Structure 1
């Protein structure tokens, strides 16, 4: 089910809170990075086989595939925030909800920090 979600599928309503957590938790960027690796891995494997990883040109095939994976990861991380918002909208949350939840969590963390370390 996670693979379906990783490729852009919409999960049943009972998983809405998990989708919200996935898009707003402290590690949401890391989760987006791992999701992009899962998405590109079948294409990378096909390129490795197709370009001749088992032949004499395996260094070229490996280098070309690695550069392709790096480009895909760079683009997916550049669009991570929009992707998270889109996933939440597909699961019934209003647009901008992920950013608002993350801002509130940051404000709460800052308030906790000030309460502990900035007592005057």
Structure 2
């Protein structure tokens, strides 16, 4: 069965924290487990942070002060967003009927071979005399 992508309105709803209909279940799993899942998370976070920054830009006061307020708000927003990115992904797939921990397990399985190769190269290069 092919993955269905949500339309832009549905994606905005999803990015704001809403649940998609059941036919998008596979797409949600792909969204939080692809190798670019952190970039996708950044896009979803932007949907929440950008409107707030835009409103703060419209406040009265010196332009430099408003720009600094927006910059600080965006930096803090992204900091906390990325600090809890994995938990956010797990919560999203739990909303769509998957068991909590599924996304992390899929990402770790996808990285296992690459991590193993990197570990072997590291051991060959730096741990030669330790054996």
Q: Which interval holds the TM-score relative to the shorter structure?
A: 0.7 to 0.9
CA distance in 1, matches of 2:114, 2:95: 28
Q: Aligned Cα RMSD in Å?
A: 1.7
CA distance in 2, matches of 1:105, 1:47: 41
Deviations 1:96-116 (A, max 9, x none): 0000111111125557x69xx
3-12 or 36-45: which moved more?
36-45
CA distance in 1, matches of 2:93, 2:60: 38
The answer on 1:31 being equivalent to 2:63 is no
TM-score, normalised via structure 2 length: 0.78
TM-score, normalised via structure 1 length: 0.85
Deviations 1:72-117 (A, max 9, x none): 0010000000000000000000010000111111125557x69xxx
Task: Point out 4+ residue stretches in structure 1 off by more than 6 angstroms.
Answer: none
Q: Which has the higher relative contact order, 1 or 2, with Cα contacts under 8 A spaced 6 or more apart?
A: 1
* Structure 1 equivalent of residue 86 of structure 2: 81
The answer on 1:58 being equivalent to 2:63 is yes
Q: Which runs of 5+ in 1 are unaligned?
A: 115-120
